[in-house]
Chain A
Amino acid sequence: MSVDGDEIKNVHGPDHPNSVGWTKAQKITLYEDEANPLVLEAGGKLTAIETEYETYGRLNDSASNAILICHALTGDAHAAGWDLEPSGSLREYRKKKPGWWDSMVGPGKAIDTNRFYVICANVLGSCYGTTGPSSLNHETGRPWGLSFPVVTVGDWAQTQMELLTRLGVHKLRSVIGGSMGGQIALEMGLAYPQRVGSMIILSAGHRVTTQGLAFNAVGRHAIINDPNFNSGDYYGGPQPIAGLAAARMMAQITYLSEESMGYKFGRRLRGKDSLDFTLTGIEFEMESYLSHQAESFVRRYDANSYLYITRAMDYYEAAEKWGQGDLTKTAALIQAKTMVVSFSSDWLFPPDLCRELVSAMCRAGCPVSYVNIPSRYGHDAFLVETEAVRRLITIFLRD
């Protein structure tokens, strides 16, 4: 989640032997045939869906070494390595840092590109090269804005499976995702049990909590009520930056934990020894951190995409979709070898929620691995606790 943050440690440059090196986004148009559109879960159809993806490593002759990585809410297809030519204003940040999961993906890393053919695709509705509300609607010649249809986690699983088919991958060795990416991974395992060999679900569950729904509602409220929002039709004019910034600041809090904030910032003042007693200026390090995060985020994300994607997360309820509300029935559909990982201080996808899926798998007679990693880093732990995650993934992907 915190691709803006400074959490990525031990960064490998493009020439480092453990880096996938320079990367170039690839594009493919899915559902080109008007007669075979993508039928959306929430209603409506889409054709000619532009999809941006990256791949690392090589598909072996038996096409049995493919791993799909699913990105989180504000992530993109650029999972590893260094973007050779970051194009457009949203991708400026790529000049300073490698892909969002560079710590896990590369030659000799946990998701070893010497062994595996790794694919990561940007989700439908996003703003990183896959068709979304900021894309041109070819019928009108203008950006879709809020006329873009509502998309769901199920739609993402379907489009990503379509991409895999086009890439010659019939069965995935593994699908791996954290947070929203974990929801997509789970949906892949439920919707395509024959095509998913194994799955790793990090900091995610079969739904978001009620508290999660509340967090997302606040974020959207801030965006929708920004004076520049203009019913989502703001392209070419002033952007709803204040609303998007507020959404990000709030979300950023949900990615941390009380303990990690206290540890990192405490009540330290920002660049001064005494309070200024100001209502509008910044006093504390904590405030400064949030506004810095928000500033870099609004430069790299589209407000409409934020609405669509948080909504998709809200709507996802695997038990409703697959088991008439019965999670055990739902879990019984899973055939993939599964590992679920939670982090003790995560309050966005708390361990108890992750455990619900694990318990359901136990009730359904599906063997499953589950680890709750003690961590102070909250939801961000799935990106920050690299050592523990690296070990678990390495172990799980061993033959």
Chain B
Amino acid sequence: MVKDIIKLPEGTITRQELTDLAKSQLLDKLRPEYQPAQPPARRWQDKVILGEIAPGSTVLDLGCGRGELLGKLIVDMGVKGQAVEVDPEAAMAAMELGVPVLNLDINEVLGDFPDLSFDCVILESTLQTLKEPLRVLSEILRVGRRAIVSFPNFGHWRVRLDLAIRGRMPVTPGLPYGWHDTPNIHLFTLADFMDWRAANEVKVAPGFALVDGQVEPLAEDSNISAEEVLVFLEKERPIGVGK
């Protein structure tokens, strides 16, 4: 039985209020039209990353898509880049931009790269699609001095409403897929991610949130306000290692 009063971290809500909300048309208006298999635009992450990468550094882009970001880094900033992309069409589009691409699954290739062989490893909007996300996280922190990870935040208020009140799998701009065709097999919230971070001696420096289309630094309430998250990760290493 559902209790009459439901306690949420952000406050309480009565059962009647919940039912009213579920019935109201307001939520349907908030829900974007379902469009199958339209991957979310990632331009905002690219912009942030472009501003954070030093010219001439070495960058591994895992799941590079059509290679816009790494292509730019190579051409404009003299970065020495390597990309991995499993989709053949996207891989060829990336090669067209002059990006060296391994048309392979991320899990197949990470073992080929030596410890700390890149200044930076990028994993954009891919973590939630992986079979073994934690293994890949620890691998990218082995291979790179720094890792850049972005993901849709399942803790975003719109996601919570969709699931809690409408009782439907959430469809948002950051998670635009249907339950049946989503590549996102390991969804998680920013809070979940931060738990992993704390347990694994990984520091976030810096972190960004996409809030109502605006990029903001990560804040206390990001787990509910951030639609997508972008974090720069570094393994806490003993002094002198990895320099």
Contacts and interface: CB of A to CB of B under 8 A. Distances in A.
Interface of A: 337-339, 358-359, 362-363, 365, 367-372, 391-392, 395-396, 398
Contacts of B58: 365
Contacts of B92: 371, 391-392, 395
A398 B92 CA distance: 12
Contacts of B114: 363, 365
A367 B64 CA distance: 14
A371 B82 contact: no
A118 B234 CA distance: 49
A363 B110 CA distance: 10
Contacts of B57: none
B91 interface: yes
A368 B103 contact: no
B71 interface: no
A60 to B, nearest CB: 21
Contacts of A359: 109, 112
Contacts of A391: 92
Contacts of B100: 337-338, 367-369
22 contacts: A337-B100, A339-B95, A358-B102, A359-B109, A359-B112, A362-B109, A363-B114, A365-B58, A365-B114, A365-B117, A368-B102, A369-B100, A369-B101, A369-B102, A370-B102, A370-B103, A370-B104, A371-B88, A371-B91, A371-B92, A395-B95, A395-B96
Interface string B60-80: 000000000000000000001
B113 interface: yes
A324 B101 CA distance: 28
Contacts, number: 49
Contacts of A368: 82, 100, 102
B144 interface: no
Nearest to A358: B102
A362 B88 contact: no
Contacts of A392: 92, 95
Nearest to B98: A398
A258 B19 CA distance: 62
A367 B113 contact: no
B152 interface: no
